[in-house]
Amino acid sequence: MMRIPFSYIWRSLWARRLTTTLTLGGLALVVFVFAGVLMLAQGLQKTLVDTGSSDNVIVLRRAAGSELVSQIDRGMASVLETQPEVAVAQDGRPLLSREMVVVINLYKKTTNSMSNVTVRGVSPQALELRPGFHIVEGKPLQFGTHEIVVGRNIATRFKGVALGTEVPFAGDRWTVVGIADAGGTGFDSEIWADGDQVMQAFGRPVYSSATFRLRDAGSFDAVKARLQRDPRAQSLELKREQAFYREQSLPMATFITKLGIVVTIIFSIGAMIGAMITMYAAVANRVVEVGTMRALGFQRRSILVAFLAESMVLAIAGGAAGIGLASLLSFARVSTLNFASFSEVGFGFALSPGVITRAMIFAVVMGVAGGFLPAVRAARLNIVNALRAA
Amino acid sequence: MKLVKIVLKNLFRHRLRTILTMLGIATAVMAFGLIRTVVGAWNAGVAASAANRMITRQSVSFIFPLPLPYRQQIARIPGVTGVSWANWFGGVYGDPNDFNDFWPRFAVDAETFYDLYPEYQVPADQLAQFRKERNACIIGRKLAAKHGFKIGDVITMEGDIFPGRWEWVVRGIYTGRDQTVDETQMHFQWNYLYEQVQQREPGRPVDAGWFILRVEPSDAMPRVATAVDEQFVNSRAPTKTETERAFQQGFVAMSSAIITSLQVISVVIVGIILLVLANTILMAVRERTREYAVLKTLGFSARHLIVLIFGESLLIAACGGLIGLALTFPMVAGFGQAMQAFFPIINVAPRTIALALSAALVSGIIAAFFPTVRVVRTPIVAGLRTVG
CA distance A350 to A39: 5
Rounded to the nearest angstrom, the minimum Cα separation between A21 and chain B is 9
pLDDT of res. B276: 83
* Among A347, A384, A301, CA closest to A183: A347
Answer whether B108's CB lies under 8 Å from B128's CB. no
Chain B residues in contact with A30 by the CB 8 A cut-off are 272
Rounded to the nearest angstrom, the minimum Cα separation between A374 and chain B is 11
Answer whether B253's CB lies under 8 Å from A115's CB. yes
CA B264 to chain centre: 17
Radius of gyration of chain A from its Cα atoms, rounded to whole angstroms:
30
Partner residue facing B61 (CB), from A116, A251, A334: A116
Q: Sorting pLDDT into bands at 50, 70 and 90, what band is B341?
A: confident
CA distance A223 to A226: 5
Is the per-residue pLDDT at A286 higher than 70?
Answer: yes
**Residue to substitute from B254, B259, B332, B387, interface A, most A β-carbons within 10 A:** B254
> Model confidence over A56-115: pLDDT tens digits?
999 998 877 788 888 888 888 899 999 999 999 888 899 999 999 988 888 888 877 778
CA dihedral B286, B291, B294, B298 (to 10 degrees): -120
pLDDT of res. A206: 87
Contact B272 A269 (CB under 8 A): no
> Could you tell me which residues are beta bridge partners of residue A212?
A57, A96
The pTM score is: 0.80
| CA distances to A268, A275, A277, B279, B331 from B23, in Å | 12, 13, 11, 14, 15
Is the per-residue pLDDT at A371 higher than 80?
Answer: yes
Pairing of strands A114-122, A190-194: parallel
CA distance B24 to B278: 12
> Residue A203: left (phi > 0), alpha (psi -120 to 50), or beta?
left
Q: Sorting pLDDT into bands at 50, 70 and 90, what band is B387?
A: low
Lowest mean pLDDT among A252-261, A316-325, B125-134: A252-261
CA distance A372 to A376: 6
pLDDT of res. B135: 93
B378–A contact, CB cutoff 8 A: no
Rounded to the nearest angstrom, the minimum Cα separation between B126 and chain A is 32
Chain B residues in contact with A256 by the CB 8 A cut-off are 258
Mean pLDDT in residue range A342-355: 84
| CA distances to A360, B35, B355 from B362, in Å | 32, 19, 10
Mean pLDDT in residue range B95-117: 90
Lowest mean pLDDT among A147-156, A275-284, B325-334: A275-284
Chain A residues in contact with B62 by the CB 8 A cut-off are 103, 116
Rounded to the nearest angstrom, the minimum Cα separation between A284 and chain B is 10
Q: Sorting pLDDT into bands at 50, 70 and 90, what band is A254?
A: confident
CA distance B35 to B352: 9
Mean pLDDT in residue range B96-112: 89
Contact B254 A337 (CB under 8 A): yes
pLDDT of res. B382: 87
Contact B31 A19 (CB under 8 A): no
* Cβ-based contacts under 8 A for chains A and B: 161
User: Which of residues A286 and B157 earns the better pLDDT score?
Assistant: B157
CA distance B116 to B121: 11
pLDDT of res. A1: 63
B278–A contact, CB cutoff 8 A: yes
pLDDT of res. B322: 96
> Model confidence over A55-70: pLDDT tens digits?
899 999 887 778 888 8
Contact B60 A104 (CB under 8 A): yes
**Residue to substitute from A277, A278, A377, interface B, most B β-carbons within 10 A:** A277
E strand spans, B194-294: 210-215, 239-243
Partner residue facing A269 (CB), from B27, B34, B249: B27
3-class secondary structure, A36? helix
Partner residue facing B28 (CB), from A258, A270, A337: A270
Rounded to the nearest angstrom, the minimum Cα separation between A124 and chain B is 25
Answer whether A371's CB lies under 8 Å from A307's CB. yes
Answer whether B241's CB lies under 8 Å from B333's CB. no
> Model confidence over B189-199: pLDDT tens digits?
999 999 999 99
Surface-to-core class of residue B1, CB atoms within 10 Å of its CB (0-12 exposed, 13-18 middle, 19+ buried): exposed
Rounded to the nearest angstrom, the minimum Cα separation between A339 and chain B is 10
Mean pLDDT in residue range B60-81: 90
> Model confidence over B184-230: pLDDT tens digits?
999 999 999 999 999 988 888 889 999 999 998 888 999 999 999 99
B209–A contact, CB cutoff 8 A: no
**Residue to substitute from A30, A114, A119, A254, interface B, most B β-carbons within 10 A:** A114
Chain B residue at shortest CA distance from A248 = B97
Answer whether A253's CB lies under 8 Å from A267's CB. no
User: Which of residues A191 and A171 earns the better pLDDT score?
Assistant: A191
Q: Sorting pLDDT into bands at 50, 70 and 90, what band is B33?
A: very high
Chain B residues in contact with A342 by the CB 8 A cut-off are 63
Contact A29 B272 (CB under 8 A): yes
Mean pLDDT in residue range B15-22: 89
Partner residue facing A116 (CB), from B254, B338, B388: B254
Contact A267 B272 (CB under 8 A): yes
pLDDT of res. B388: 53
Neighbours of A134 (CB within 10 A): 13
Contact B279 A274 (CB under 8 A): yes
Chain B, residues 96-125, CB within 8 A of chain A, namely 96-97, 99
Contact B279 A203 (CB under 8 A): no
Contact A284 B261 (CB under 8 A): no
Mean pLDDT in residue range A255-259: 80
Q: What is the mean pLDDT of chain B?
A: 89
**Residue to substitute from A32, A68, A259, A372, interface B, most B β-carbons within 10 A:** A259
Contact B20 A30 (CB under 8 A): no
Rounded to the nearest angstrom, the minimum Cα separation between A88 and chain B is 31
Q: Which long-range contacts (CB under 8 A, 24 or more apart) does A222-228 make?
A: A222/A85, A223/A57, A223/A83, A223/A85, A223/A86, A226/A83, A227/A79, A227/A80, A227/A83
Answer whether B210's CB lies under 8 Å from B56's CB. yes
